A = this chain, B = another copy of it.
Amino acid sequence: MGQNGKRPTLREIAARVGVSETAASFALNGRPGISEATRKKVLDVVEEMGWRPSYAARVLSGARSRTIGLVLTQNTATVDSELFFIRLMTGMQTVLSRSQCGLLMQVVQTVEEEIEVYRTWHAEGRVDGVVLVDLRADDPRPRAMVDLGLPAVLAGGPDPEGLLPSVSIDDAAAMTLVLQHLRELGHRHVAYVSGPRDLLHVRRRLDAFDAVVAEQLDGGHVISTDFTSEAAAAATRELLAHAPAPTAVVCDNEIVAVSLMLTLRSLGRHVPEDLAVVSWEDTPVCQAMHPPLTALHRNTHEFGADVAEQLLKILAGEPPESSQEQTPQLIVRASTDSARA
């Protein structure tokens, strides 16, 4: 190691070998113009000093950083409570680790800040590519990635403008599956407590909801939330006051579902007798609730692995190709079907 236990600098290496910094740099970068003897001496000293010169030197000479970036634009309260993001990240890790690739992450508050982080990371060569989540309507990010020339994959999608490849989940098929189940149980008036309407995956679910309601049910009521417990509790009260009263409700994630269940309980309403409840995400809380929650089960870990796999393929020079995950499974529990209790 260098002085003070720190990584040795080019200056220290050069001084130790007794050559100029330029010569040391050329030796480290494998450039012509210095003798084999000098090159060997530099590499020996470098090894002796415990420095792997490759990273910064390689980046400076235009090579890969072996790092993937992930920026979450979120209210941290939501990121904190949802298991989705940690599952996505650990899923990505299983693939990235095999390629000795790191995951650089940051949490920001706005899409503009998010793009600024990508711009800086890319300009500084800190990441080879990025994964974008939660695509919104008129989202400036795909265009920004293309303009930057920064390889990117959408986790979720597809990209409506077709600018970026994606790994998507068929939200329409999943919503149809849920409503089919409720219809078979005899429900004719159904509600959907959704996430923010500017999220594209929420829009796809809304479109499918509206289509099924129009064709097969007597009524559908939608209340949009920002995914917080408070908004979900307010939505529950609004729902109960709605006429005609819905007999079943689809909740956009487990935070919304749990908050709705607790609000119903505090108001003395029973699940599923007064209201049947479905959660869009299956987490341990769904099984633990009383009654246990019917939920859409998707393999978020595998989803993350597929996203990372696709990005690594693109970085390896393969042509970008979008793909779609298997449609989530509906795990039926007592919150929709009391016979299962």
A107 to chain B: closest CB distance in Å? 4
A50 to chain B: closest CB distance in Å? 6
A332 within 8 A of B: no
Give the size range of A's interface with the partner: 35 or more
- Asked if A123 and B89 make an inter-chain contact with CB atoms under 8 angstroms apart, the answer reads no
Cβ–Cβ < 8 Å partners of A120 in chain B: 52, 100
A285 to chain B: closest CB distance in Å? 4
> Which residue from B4, B11, B96, B104 sits with its C-beta under 8 Å from A103?
B104
**Distance A262 CA – B290 CA, assembled complex (angstroms):** 10
A288 within 8 A of B: yes
> Which residue from B52, B59, B67 sits with its C-beta under 8 Å from A104?
B67
- Asked if A301 and B80 make an inter-chain contact with CB atoms under 8 angstroms apart, the answer reads yes
Q: What secondary structure prevails in chain A residues at the interface with B?
A: helix
- Asked if A62 and B7 make an inter-chain contact with CB atoms under 8 angstroms apart, the answer reads yes
**Distance A57 CA – B62 CA, assembled complex (angstroms):** 12
A137 to chain B: closest CB distance in Å? 26
A185 within 8 A of B: no
Cβ–Cβ < 8 Å partners of A7 in chain B: 62, 122-123, 125, 149
A340 within 8 A of B: no
A-B residue pairs in contact (CB < 8 Å), sample of 29: A5-B148, A6-B149, A7-B122, A8-B62, A10-B62, A11-B61, A25-B60, A51-B123, A52-B123, A52-B124, A55-B126, A56-B59, A56-B60, A59-B59, A67-B104, A76-B93, A81-B284, A83-B86, A86-B86, A90-B107, A93-B106, A93-B107, A94-B107, A96-B106, A261-B288, A262-B287, A285-B288, A289-B289, A289-B290
